[in-house]
Each structure stands twice: as structure tokens, then as C-alpha cells.
Amino acid sequence: MASLGQMSDYEIRLVRIFKTVVECGGFTAAETTLGISRSAISQHMNDLEGRLGFSLCQRGRGGFSLTEEGKEIYQAGLTLLTALETFKSDVNALHQTIKGELNIGITDNLVTLPAMHVTNALAELSAPENEVMLHIHMEPSDAVIRGVMDGHLHVGVVPAVNLPTSLENRHLYDEPSYLYCAAGHPLFHQHDDTLSTEDIAQHFAISPRYPLPFEARQAHDALSLRASASDREGAAFLILTGRFIGFLPEHVAEQWVAAGKMRSLLSATQHYRIPFVLITRHDRRPNRVVDAFLNLIKSS
């Protein structure tokens, strides 16, 4: 007796034809459903019987009837075709549903940026049809870079400053920063028309202890640095004392400017922009969640 090996697409097609013939009650009745001639159906049935090694049905003047083996093959064929349909549905569902985790590291105070590329991408990724667990790590940029490099983080959002060559980066947005003072500072009520860079240099300013591009460092070097801050929130604390001037991202200072508690100084000249990038490892492994997030960032 013949032994059936690995099934080909053609053999699966033969099983489908056999199923249709059985359910139609014979070759002639199956012609219309299958869209092929009776002789072609007969040839396919002969092929299937030859591959299986036994007769599946009786056909002739006595009518169409299944052999005992034919009944068994019909039931096995139903199981096979159902499994194939289930497999196809599951694969299609995988294309429509994203499952897994995303570990993303973000530097401080970016949530208020008007360009909400990251927020919008996270919203799409966490849609109800997906099964994604999001983990956000708010850390200094050097910690985010280390996390991406050692694989602890899938992606990171950092300033484009001192980035290792082992990381791939894509530009997200430029963050404008201006020089601010707070209510209570001697310069708060002084109009810009009466101010000069020399006047500003006479007042105590804040030195950042976080990475900045060259243009930003130059802007700070022109000030009288008498305090320091490890992040932008720390700089905001010091500015709000009314004792110091300092640079802040426009979107960070906006709430205090709107409340009349801060103002910018010589905004036409005292400003710089910091490019922010999304970083991943060049040699990262394929990951559907990460790939989907990157594609959403690209399209935002």
C-alpha cells in the first residue's frame, strides 16, 4: 500500500475537489460547482486515489457511493481543510494584531512639545485591537543611550548630541529654547529695547549639566554662570526663585509665561534649537512591535 508523504499544494487541491464531489453527490453534480468537466473531475479523483493507494468511491450505473476508506478520507479531509483555514485566519490576524512589549526611554520634559510624534505613535500602537504592553522610562539622555545600546530599551528619544556610531537615529523635531527670567528678577519688567547682551551678562545664570549641542554651549558661555542644574526641571526651579536667568525650552516655560511668572529676554538673539532624535541599535533583531512603532513615527 502506498504511503503518503509530505502533502503538496496539488494534493490539497485534490482533497478539496473530493470534498466537493462528496457534498454534491457525484461527478456530474460537481461539474457546475467546480467549474470543470466531468472527465477532468474523474482524472483528479484517479490521481488522488493513486496517491493515497486505495479506492475512494464507486461510480457507474449504480450511482455514486463512498467506500469505507472514502468515508474516512472525507472526514480526514474536513479536518485538514478546517486546519488550513484556521491557520490562514490566525496568520491574517497576526498581520492585523500586534503583540508584545515596547520599552522606550525618553529624556525629561518632552511631553509638552507641540509636535507630538511619539505620543501619537504610542496611541496608535496601544489601539484596542493590539496587545502591546508599553513601558516608558524617563531618564537622562546618557542613561537612555546606554539602555538602547545594551538592549534594555528598544528605542530612545534623546538630543542629537554625542551619539555613538553604533546607534541608528532618525530626526523627530527641533526644540527651540529661549533665555528666561522670573517675576521678582531685576530684568523682569525691563523692556528688551533697553537691554543688551552686556546687561544680561551681569546677572547670575544657570549652567546645564546635561548634554547640549555646540550652539547651545556657546549661548551659555556668554552668561555669568553661578548655579547649575542636572535637567530642565531643575533649571526651571532656579529661574522661578527670581535670582537667576536661564535657558528653557519654549514649551516647558510656556505655562509660567502664560501665568505671568516668567518672560523671555532678548528672544530675537538669545535662543537656540536642539534636534531630538529617535535612536535604535543598528544591529537590533527584528521585532514587530518596534517595527510598527518606527513605521508609525515615520508616518506621523
**Whether CATH 3.40.190.10 fits 99-172+276-299:** yes
Closest CA to 270 of 177, 142, 139: 177
Q: What is the mean pLDDT of residues 203-232?
A: 94
Q: How far is 231 from 107, CA to CA, in rounded Å?
A: 9
Q: Please determine whether the domains at 99-172+276-299 and 174-275 fall in the same fold group of CATH.
A: yes
Q: Distance from first CA to last CA of the chain, Å, rounded? A: 62
Please report which confidence band the pLDDT of residue 86 belongs to, taking 50, 70 and 90 as the band edges. Answer: confident
User: 203 near 266, Cβ under 8 Å?
Assistant: no
Residues 6+ apart with CB under 8 A from 247: 177, 178, 179, 180, 206, 208, 216, 219, 220, 235, 270, 272
Give residue 130's pLDDT.
86
What confidence tens digit (pLDDT) does each residue in 113-123 have?
777 789 889 99
What confidence tens digit (pLDDT) does each residue in 141-182 have?
999 999 999 989 999 999 999 899 999 999 999 999 999 999
Q: Is pLDDT of 2 > 60?
A: no
What pTM, to 2 d.p., does this model score? 0.68
Give residue 1's pLDDT.
44
Q: Supply the DSSP symbol for 53.
A: T
Give residue 3's pLDDT.
60
The domain segmentation of the chain, as residue ranges, is 9-96, 99-172+276-299, 174-275
With b for 16 or more beta-carbon neighbours within 10 A and e for fewer, the 41-54 pattern comes to beebbeebbeebee
User: 73 near 54, Cβ under 8 Å?
Assistant: no
Q: Supply the DSSP symbol for 245.
A: B
Q: Is pLDDT of 112 > 80?
A: no
More confident residue, 269 or 92: 269
Question: How far is C-alpha 211 from the geometric centre of its chain's CA atoms?
Answer: 26
Which CATH class, in words, describes the domain spanning 174-275? alpha beta
With b for 16 or more beta-carbon neighbours within 10 A and e for fewer, the 213-244 pattern comes to eeebeebbeebeeebebebbebbbebbbeebb
- Taking 3-state DSSP, the helix, strand and coil percentages for the chain, each rounded to the nearest 5, stand at 45, 25, 35
Please report which confidence band the pLDDT of residue 224 belongs to, taking 50, 70 and 90 as the band edges. Answer: very high
Give residue 169's pLDDT.
93
Give residue 260's pLDDT.
97
What confidence tens digit (pLDDT) does each residue in 238-267 have?
999 999 999 999 999 999 999 999 999 999
**Whether CATH 1.10.10.10 fits 9-96:** yes
Please report which confidence band the pLDDT of residue 131 belongs to, taking 50, 70 and 90 as the band edges. Answer: confident
Q: What percent of the chain has pLDDT over 90?
A: 58
